Amino acid sequence: MKARAPRILMVGTALDGRGGVAAILSVLRAGGLFEREAVHYVSTHREGGALAKLCHAGAGLWATLATCLLQRPAIVHAHASSGASFVRKSLVLLLARASGCKTIFHLHGGTFREYALERSGALMRRWIRHTLERSSLVIALSDSWAVFIEGFAPKARVAVVPNAVSLPAARTTTVPESPAHLASLAGETETVVPGRILFLGRLEAAKGTAELLDAVVQLAPRFPQLRLVMGGSGDLDGFRRQAAQRGIAGHIDLPGWLDAAARDAELARASVFCLPSHAEGLPMALLEAMAAGKAVVASSVGGIPELVRDGENGLLVPPHDGAALARALARLLADEGLRSRLGASARKTVEAQYSTQAVCGRLAAIYNDLAGTR
């Protein structure tokens, strides 16, 4: 049987890769968007050495051009962040426009503002603005990011579509009453471990990792059972040294990058989830933690304040403020009732506003509007 011609050509990072963009794309595919909307997917980036990345990017650009010329998709939908990701996707969209396709620039990544305003020279800023304004539509993850895009590229047409997250089945969790009780429950991933804080993200300064380690220094004397699990790729040996220099090596676990199963197991065991980033879009790790019914502490940057309402479904702290971070974490570690209330509210927030069904429906409506098939 003849294959169905693609209606949408979607371009992004490798679906089996790491990071938030790969995670959201996998959620959309699992939610049926690719099948229902006849999406053909091309990746222009994957993990590896410089030569491997260059070859993959070249192959992705060639595949994009061939698809545009030979199969004539109605829309080319590119997922991009900053730096090399933006450069690749700007070329993709240039090829798509030259082929007569409608185009969507879907902005991810919390450092795009800095990239556009501070790290780029005058020529690159003009190219960024040109790319945004020539796109048929720019998708922002939050209202605050939409305001920035509209100010930076006034002629751009902008829509807000948040990230989607799969909602796991509700679990009946057990909180151990004593070390002996905890030992008896070993192996049960549904068991919440008292004093266990989970961080998920790349281990780098921009994620607020130094402030998080400093907060542990302040918290450890009051909460001797405290354990901070920092799941993510980065300089693990360097972070072990930082923890040792602060005298908290015994309170830190560094398992490295976690696949989906390991991530879900860690979320189930965590008492609190923490993401004290300096800049963000709408982080998938935070959405995943809230979908799992976890009380969260996050910094008030990017689209996070539109997701987390302080005191209602989580706690917000200023970025770069280790003392405020420690106080917020202490509130949650000391109050099981507060953790339960915030965690339940967090899950309801995700269920109502960030479900896969809702976001896939919004994207389908955008596709129909651009393609003139409403």
- Options 3.40.50.2000, 3.30.479.30, 3.40.50.2300, 3.30.750.200; CATH for 179-353 is 3.40.50.2000
Between residues 301 and 2, the one the model is more confident about: 301
pLDDT at 184 over 50: no
247-263 mean pLDDT:
94
DSSP-derived secondary structure letter, 196: E
pLDDT at 179 over 70: no
Write down the pLDDT at residue 167: 84
Q: What are phi and psi of 166, to 5 degrees?
A: -70, 140
Number of other residues whose CB lies within 10 A of the CB of residue 141 = 26
pLDDT at 367 over 90: yes
Q: For 8-164+355-371, which CATH superfamily applies?
A: Glycogen Phosphorylase B; (3.40.50.2000)
The candidate with the shortest Cα–Cα distance to 204, out of 243, 229, 252, 238, is 238
pLDDT at 174 over 70: no
Domain boundaries, the chain: 8-164+355-371, 179-353
pLDDT at 250 over 90: yes
Of the pLDDT bands very low, low, confident and very high (cuts 50, 70, 90), residue 1 is very low
Write down the pLDDT at residue 173: 52
Spell out the residues 6+ positions from residue 43 whose beta carbon is closer than 8 angstroms to its own: 11, 12, 13, 14, 15, 56, 60
Per-residue model confidence as pLDDT tens digits over 258-303: 998 999 999 999 999 999 999 998 999 999 999 999 999 999 999 9
Of the pLDDT bands very low, low, confident and very high (cuts 50, 70, 90), residue 171 is low
48-73 mean pLDDT:
90
Task: Output the CA angle 123-80-97, nearest 5 degrees.
Answer: 70
Residue 219: CA count within 13 A, CB half-sphere: 29
Between residues 190 and 55, the one the model is more confident about: 55
Write down the pLDDT at residue 40: 95
8-164+355-371 and 179-353 have identical folds: yes
Strand arrangement, sheet containing 252-256: 252-256, 227-231, 196-200, 272-275, 295-299, 315-317
Cα Rg of the chain (Å, integer) = 22
Length of the chain (residues): 374
pLDDT at 170 over 90: no
Spell out the residues 6+ positions from residue 29 whose beta carbon is closer than 8 angstroms to its own: 15, 41
Strand intervals (E) in the chain: 8-13, 39-45, 75-80, 102-107, 137-140, 158-160, 196-200, 227-231, 252-256, 272-275, 295-299, 315-317
Write down the pLDDT at residue 15: 87
Instruction: Answer yes or no: pTM beyond 0.75.
Output: yes
Spell out the residues 6+ positions from residue 143 whose beta carbon is closer than 8 angstroms to its own: 160, 303, 306
Q: What is the mean pLDDT of the chain?
A: 91
Spell out the residues 6+ positions from residue 184 whose beta carbon is closer than 8 angstroms to its own: none
